[in-house]
A and B are shown apart, each in its own frame.
Chain A
Amino acid sequence: MGTIAKIHEMLVGRQISCAELTQRYLDEISAANGELNAYVCVTGDEALAAAEAVDKKIAAGEEIGMLEGVPMSLKDNMSTKGILTTCCSKILTGYKPIYDATVWELLRDKGAVLLGKTNMDEFAMGSSCETSCYGGAANPVNTAHVAGGSSGGAASAVGGNLAAYSLGSDTGGSIRQPASFCGVVGLKPTYGAVSRYGLIAYASSLDQIGPVAKTVEDVSLVYDAICKPDKRDSTSKGGSETYSTLNNDIKGMKIGIAREYLDGVRDDVKEAVLAAAEVYKSLGAEIVYFDLPILKFALPVYYIIACAEASSNLGRYDGIRYGYKTAHYNGTHDMICRTRSEGFGGEVQRRILLGTYVLSAGYYDAYYKKAQNLRGTIIKAFNSAFESCDVILAPTVPMTAFEKGHAVSDPIETYLTDICTVPVNIAGLPGVSIPCGFNAKGMPIGMQLIGKSFGEAEILNAAYKYQQAAGENFKDTKWGVKL
């Protein structure tokens, strides 16, 4: 049974009050967060107030929804009215939004209990969570390792039982990669399935919000609650319900494996993914192999587009309307430059510079325009791949969680960790990462199932069937609340 269903059952069965449950989560957060650093802001009072409202409903004999009273958290790049929202960047020091992100509105209206905001790479730029101005989040499986990134705090909180679920955001793998590193489930929905209104932008055409949870059914329940069209986001379409089809038979389902996804992947990861393919065969699915040679251009295409959009999105942090402002300056231009140079970390500055470069006069055609063209080619290649299969199976990351401090040294090598995750963002497709084994050191290995556009139901169905067949790969950690 998933965590959400378990909590729901406990609340409805009055085995525990929502306030008590919430307090247990808050206590565990205070006990564990020093080591896991999953949370950068804890909203205890607000959480308890929300919990009491749920308890009143239960006491009055009213029915409550599945997500009602369930303690959860949000990545620190989602706007929460009156609650610190910093993108884990010094430049947003003290920023308390005056409006709520659509996803938070939707969940709050369903009675969600917000425990706090989770750690992330600064402005979601990174693969280890270590570019956070609060320091990185630790991997709950082994705290000497990183939780991954950028939604490292979300995966760490969920893996460490410090939230029933958490919302992350995924621009180039930022939900799936930390989910893979921490041994939990993370869904990056189809672009446009979930509203981006209130999500602080990194790269607008790639960013998507999605759930991180311990089980596929939890991820499905949360996705169903947030995949609503939103008038405030012109690119949002809304998605469709996934929960009722989770347990559908997958006999005859065609699962594709693109050979390119297995190139350069560590042996232990490759073996685990191929073993998962065998599980699928045993469930009656058919495995088909094919080539997607265009994928080798996905990573540079991703960095060009993401950095270009980021350089524009991050122009607004100028010390005038919100956030950090330098202490000493001479003139407006000087103030803005100092504020930005002091407020942004090194990786963010590097990506802003790269983005500015590829958009600047003389380079636009060679880089940005070319990358956009290739984006069209990549989308087309996926479309034709889906003519011969229903879902694509691939590793989530070519490796397992690395040790702390490893990622910072070489930016390009770090970029390579995103190689299996970025194609999905480029093509706007849905992808879910689920645990599929452990390496020799006991670190989790993740695999992803990639679906057709708006094919969330299909990939979650396949993921759920795997989870049922290979439950041993979904292991709990020593941390946090034990239900």
Chain B
Amino acid sequence: MSPELIKDDETMVTREDVENIALLSKLFVPEEELDGLTKSMQEIIDFADAINNAPAGDEGFDNINNLSNVFREDEVVPSFPVEEILKNAPEQAEDHFLVRSRE
């Protein structure tokens, strides 16, 4: 049941697209890798484009078991000690997580 790989030109992934999504994803893409990544993204998007051939489903999807109204009561649970909260922080100062301006 291989998915139908269609190669229509519906979705073109451009260098600018990749730069933009990299910025949104907070990832650096070095200039020299940009073309390669654009090509690879194009391949994956072509692959994803297979769903355009699917019947227009109107089933909709809410959540797997159609669960609703799962709540907790408004009761205070003791918080964690600040030392625990900061335990894994790469840097901390004065009981705060710290991000120095440069390193």
Contact = CB atoms under 8 A, between A and B. Distances in A.
* A–B contact via C-beta, under 8 angstroms: yes
Interface in B1-53: 1-4, 11, 13, 17-18, 20-22, 24-28, 37, 40-41, 43-45, 47-53
A323 B90 CA distance: 7
A356 B4 contact: no
Interface in B77-103: 80, 84-85, 87-91, 97, 99, 101-103
B97 A376 contact: no
A304 B61 CA distance: 15
Residue of B21, B43, B64, B65 with most chain A CB atoms under a 10 A cut-off: B64
A107 B3 CA distance: 40
A373 B58 contact: yes
A350 B41 CA distance: 8
A335 B54 CA distance: 42
A438 B45 CA distance: 36
Contacts of B70: 234-235
B51 A375 contact: no
A318 B91 CA distance: 12
B103 A376 contact: no
Contact of A332 (B40, B53, B60, B99): B99
B47 A353 contact: no
Contact of A357 (B17, B61, B67, B103): B17
Contacts of A373: 56-61
B64 A235 contact: yes
Contacts of A377: 54-55, 57, 59
A320 B89 contact: yes
A477 interface: no
Interface string A343-363: 010000110111011101001
Contact of A320 (B11, B84, B97): B97
A2 interface: no
Classify the interface of chain A: helix, strand, loop or mixed: helix
A235 B2 contact: no
Nearest to A332: B99
Interface residues of A, number: 78
Nearest to B86: A321
A376 B45 CA distance: 22
A353 B59 contact: no
A48 interface: no
A320 B21 contact: no
A324 B88 CA distance: 10
Contacts of A300: 3, 47-51
B59 A297 contact: no
A324 to B, nearest CB: 8
B78 to A, nearest CB: 13
B59 to A, nearest CB: 3
Nearest to B50: A300
Nearest to A367: B48
Interface size grouping (class) on chain B? 35 or more
B91 to A, nearest CB: 7
A357 B41 contact: yes
A323 B1 contact: no
A160 interface: no
A246 B60 CA distance: 36
A100 interface: no
Interface string A309-332: 001000100111111111111111
Contacts of A333: 26
A191 B66 CA distance: 11
B65 A453 contact: yes
Interface string A373-390: 111110110000000000
A295 interface: yes
A261 interface: yes
A96 B56 CA distance: 46
B102 A237 contact: no
A231 interface: yes
B1 A367 contact: no
A49 interface: no
Contact of A350 (B3, B40, B80): B40
Contacts of A327: 103
A372 B61 contact: yes
24 contacts: A95-B88, A98-B80, A98-B84, A98-B87, A237-B65, A296-B1, A297-B53, A300-B51, A325-B90, A325-B91, A326-B103, A328-B103, A333-B26, A350-B41, A353-B41, A354-B44, A360-B20, A366-B52, A376-B60, A377-B55, A379-B61, A411-B43, A412-B47, A415-B47
Interface of B: 1-4, 11, 13, 17-18, 20-22, 24-28, 37, 40-41, 43-45, 47-61, 63-65, 67, 70, 72, 80, 84-85, 87-91, 97, 99, 101-103
Given A98-B87, A320-B99, 17 more contacts: A98-B80, A191-B65, A264-B1, A297-B51, A320-B89, A320-B97, A333-B26, A337-B27, A338-B28, A349-B25, A352-B25, A353-B27, A360-B20, A367-B51, A419-B1, A419-B3, A428-B64
